[in-house]
Amino acid sequence: MVAHRNDLSVPVAVHLHGGHTPADSDGYPTDLIEPGGRRDSTYPMRQRAATLWYHDHRMDFTGQQVYRGLAGFHLVTDDEQDALGLPSGERDIPLMITDRSFGEDGSFSYPASHHGAGVDDAHMEGVLGDVVLVNGAPWPVLEVAAARYRLRLLNASSARRYRLGLDPARTPLAQIASDGGLLEKPIEHSTVLLAPGERCEVVVDFSAFKPDTDVTLRNGLGSGGTADVMRFRITGRGGDDSRIPQQLSQIEPLSADRAVRTRTWTFRRALNDEHPVWRLDGRAFDPERIDADVRLGEIEVWRFQSDLHHPVHVHLDPFQVLSRRNQGPGPHDKGWKDTVDLAPSESVDVAVRFRDYPGRYLLHCHNLEHEDMGMMAAFRTI
Ligand SMILES: [Cu+2]
């Protein structure tokens, strides 16, 4: 149980992203904690070890409230993971990556709405900042020993996607986990792609670099102030008894032939009174409406279709990516996912199975401005 007390002057809603959480603790966008109020959330943590994060989910205000800081890590551990010998302690580093813009006085400048709820037409693509922050600091420097480190990468930005890689690229990024915890086997990447909401955990062996050198974590999709993310400064040799086992975990495949149905969800732009808006299945989110009933324990194929980039997030339970554009999963789709990056005009099939908790949950675009424009739907588990 976690008690959230609201000392702010605005209502908030708290969602544990990736949490396998009873419905009344999931942070539905209208389950508000009013100023001066308090709400107790139950997080049973009957789930695999994984890098979760909590963030605001208030209807129509999520983008600006997360922008101003209502987000943080929530790390789940378990015995399976602890026994593997991965880098741990001071060599297990959560890195929350965001982009922000600042006013002349150094305050956050959230441009999309100066008049309360919602997003104006000029920010249809979402809010992009011109400074990259890691754990709240602009372009920070981390001193590291010449040893293996586990980096838990989280894209907590409103709308920016990143392609992250080391410069110089002398050693691979060995991916060990994604949104829903450990992969079955590590995957070596030269760069990793992260859409808003996604997590990717990599092990980097800094012994590939000479002491007293700097290594930059770059964003291949950025330019100017968003091309660099942070730096690592190698301090010297360090003892290292960590390892990356070739078998990390076992994952039960949710195969399409066990699915009871295929459900299609379409993420597209629409017009509302001649204003462009983002819609899920052509409708704006209505917190009183249930858009689908789903039986607990059954496997379903959910087909997500897009017009442009949309990072699709499903609450309550993770899913497995089956295919993209009728081809196999992409290089960053392995393991249990709770957020999947849709490219323009793409169709992605995932297999999902909800467990344990009946109630009302969300799926939505995790571009926070798209979400605030109503690109969300409610499903009910029964
Ligand atoms: Cu979107």
The secondary structure of residue 343, as a DSSP letter, is P
What pLDDT does 320 receive?
98
Going from the Cα of 10 to the center of ligand 1, the distance in angstroms, rounded, reads 25
Residue ranges covered by each domain of the chain: 2-75, 89-237, 256-381
CATH number at 2-75: 2.60.40.420
CA of 341 to the centre of ligand 1 (A): 10
Phi, psi for 114 (deg, rounded to 5): -100, 0
The per-residue pLDDT for 116 is 60
Give the distance (Å) from ligand 1 centre to CA of residue 371. Answer: 7
Distance from residue 267's CA to the centre of ligand 1 (Å)? 7
Residue 190 CA to ligand 1 center (angstroms) comes to: 27
pLDDT in tens, 72-120: 999 999 999 999 999 999 999 999 999 999 999 999 999 866 556 667 7
Ligand 1 centroid vs 116 CA: distance in angstroms? 21
Contact call for residues 315 and 362 (beta carbons, < 8 A): yes
At the fourth CATH level, the homologous superfamily of domain 256-381 is Cupredoxins -  blue copper proteins (2.60.40.420)
CA-wise closest residue to 173 among 197, 155, 153, 196 = 153
Instruction: State which fold the 89-237 domain adopts.
Output: Immunoglobulin-like (2.60.40)
Q: What are phi and psi of 372, to 5 degrees?
A: -70, -20
Alpha-carbon distance 382 to 374, whole Å? Answer: 24
How many CA atoms lie within 13 Å of 59's alpha carbon, on the beta-carbon side?
15
**What's the gap in Å between 54 CA and the centre of ligand 1?**
20
Domains 2-75 and 256-381 share a fold: yes
pLDDT, position 117 = 62
Over residues 5-14, the mean pLDDT reads 97
Are 324 and 333 in contact by the 8 Å Cβ rule? The answer is: yes
CA of 340 to the centre of ligand 1 (A): 11
Give the model confidence (pLDDT) of 294-343 as tens digits.
Answer: 999 999 999 999 999 999 999 999 999 999 988 889 999 999 999 999 99
- Centre of ligand 1 to C-alpha 34, Å, is 28
- Cα separation of 310 and 77, whole Å? 30
Tokens at 32, concatenated: 């508000």
- Identify which of 317, 320, 345, 318 has the alpha carbon closest to the alpha carbon of residue 330: 320
Distance (Å, whole) CA 307 – CA 302: 17
- pLDDT 10s digits, 178-206: 999 999 999 999 999 999 999 999 999 99
Main-chain phi, psi angles of 320, to 5 degrees: -120, 135
CA of 343 to the centre of ligand 1 (A): 10
Q: Identify the pLDDT of residue 113.
A: 63
Among 311, 343, 128, which Cα is nearest to 224's? 128
> How far apart are alpha carbons 172 and 94 in whole angstroms?
18
- Supply the pTM of this predicted model: 0.96
